[in-house]
Amino acid sequence: MRTYNDVISLIGNTPLVRINNITKQLKIKTPIYAKMENLNPGYSVKDRIGISMINWAEKEGVLKKGGTIVEATSGNTGIGLALVAAVRGYKCVFVLTDKVSVEKNRYLKALGADIVVCPAAAKPGTPDHYVTTARRIAEETPNSFYPDQYSHPANPLAHYNTTGPEIWNDTDGKITHFVSSIGTGGTISGTARYLKEMNPDIRIIGADPYGSIFKTYKDSGHVPEPTPYLVEGIGQALPTVNANLAIVDEIINITDRESFDLARQLSRREGIFCGGSTGTIFAGALKVAKELDENSLVVFIVCDTGEHYLTKFHSDEWMKEKLMLEPQRITAGVIAETKHLGNRAAVISVSSTDTVSDALAKMNESGVTQLPVIDDNHSVGSLRESGLLTKLLQNRDLMTSSVADVMDASFPVLDSDATYNEIKAKLQKNPAVLIEDFKRITAIITRADLLDLPS
């Protein structure tokens, strides 16, 4: 029978998949392969260290029957630990920051873990910091095991024993460049140690978000003040024990925009549905590969699945909120949806039979200077405060007239697929456009709504 005893047996032996369309367009000659760690049973590279740290703890007698595993995690290590805990009957408490996606938080709960959330802004060493909190919970919990992935030797060892040999064997020893991120540093340090032992000429490249300390620290020995960035799971505010930067040949800084753009491109153009840190790494891999020829072979890590980020950078609305959406994907629907996310009311309107004084009151109440006139879901006209006030100054009696007597022509109506350029052209001549979906007016877009877009 071709069966497996449990899900733990599915960890590792992930395939290398060639990148085709993106490299062809960029005229990159060197082959680039993705190490598909998103195909692990917990959908990330961190499954490898979950089992490795638990096996160590069981062997050392640190983790006993019915024990509790407590760890500080950006989610994926928690998932890797929780899978094993589910199979072997341990309890789990994970401490996350509020930067961790809701998908990873719920995933951990679904695997039976208890979750504590700490502010991402807390400084290392302070009581609110997620690592300090995890350590305290572990101390207070009887029969508990605190792996501490940032310093546990079983973290890089898992990659030395498995990730490194898999890459070496699957490329028949032809790999010339290995590109990874640095979170705890386990993946890059362990894999690099194995690869360098096999061939010291293999170049090891770390891709790190702007705002993280690793590049400056490696290049100058100085730990700079960290600044916030949006990519999850990688980069640090302080060096870690498991990040052996001496084995890393070069660190390349990558922006959030490049990371998310390339993660989104990997999904759309290669069918590799991955997280933001994979985008960071792939951005680094492309920069390196541009300088290489067909005699080289680049391998990069696909750290985790895009499913963890469906409410984040894989959502056009989230990308637009962060001013990072590609202009060609900005449609009327996306703009309308984002306004809705910001909890602004969908469409404030009047009907043609309302009185002018009611319409004015509505403008004042809601702080708008123009109103669509909508009857039975159809736009029949519009009111603009300045034009209306001019008419009222001439004839105050119009206050009691109906809107139909004073209204101007309707704002243009577009459907939700209308492009950014179409909307922009209409807004040059009109103060607002209306969006119609399934024959209902669902949104109004004003000039101000286009101003907070990236182009």
Interface with ligand PLP (CB under 6 A): 46, 74, 76-77, 181-187, 232-234, 275, 277, 303-304
In the sheet that 32-36 helps form, which strands lie side by side, from edge to edge?
16-18, 32-36, 298-302, 177-181, 203-209, 250-254
Strand partners, 300: 34, 179
Nearer to ligand PLP by Cβ, of 184 and 442: the residue is 184
Nearer to ligand PLP by Cβ, of 302 and 330: the residue is 302
CA angle, 58 as apex, 52 and 62 as ends, to 5°? 110
Nearer to ligand PLP by Cβ, of 156 and 381: the residue is 156
Among 349, 354, 347, CA closest to 404: 354
Residue with the shortest CB distance to ligand PLP: 233
Gap between the Cα atoms of 252 and 281, Å rounded: 9
Tell me how far, at minimum, the Cβ of 21 lies from ligand PLP, in Å.
24
Nearer to ligand PLP by Cβ, of 309 and 411: the residue is 309
Taking phi over 0 as left and psi of -120 to 50 as alpha, with beta for the rest, 274 belongs to beta
Q: One-letter amino acid identity for 423?
A: I
Tell me how far, at minimum, the Cβ of 85 lies from ligand PLP, in Å.
17
Q: Which residues are catalytic?
A: 46
Nearer to ligand PLP by Cβ, of 186 and 412: the residue is 186
Tell me how far, at minimum, the Cβ of 101 lies from ligand PLP, in Å.
10
Tell me how far, at minimum, the Cβ of 170 lies from ligand PLP, in Å.
19
Nearer to ligand PLP by Cβ, of 183 and 381: the residue is 183
Tell me how far, at minimum, the Cβ of 428 lies from ligand PLP, in Å.
43
User: In the structure encoding, which two tokens stand for residue 356, read together?
Assistant: 């002018």
Nearer to ligand PLP by Cβ, of 273 and 411: the residue is 273
User: In the structure encoding, which two tokens stand for residue 14, read together?
Assistant: 């992930």
Q: One-letter amino acid identity for 212?
A: S
Tell me how far, at minimum, the Cβ of 445 lies from ligand PLP, in Å.
35
Gap between the Cα atoms of 126 and 121, Å rounded: 11
Tell me how far, at minimum, the Cβ of 247 lies from ligand PLP, in Å.
13
Nearer to ligand PLP by Cβ, of 67 and 185: the residue is 185
Tell me how far, at minimum, the Cβ of 38 lies from ligand PLP, in Å.
10
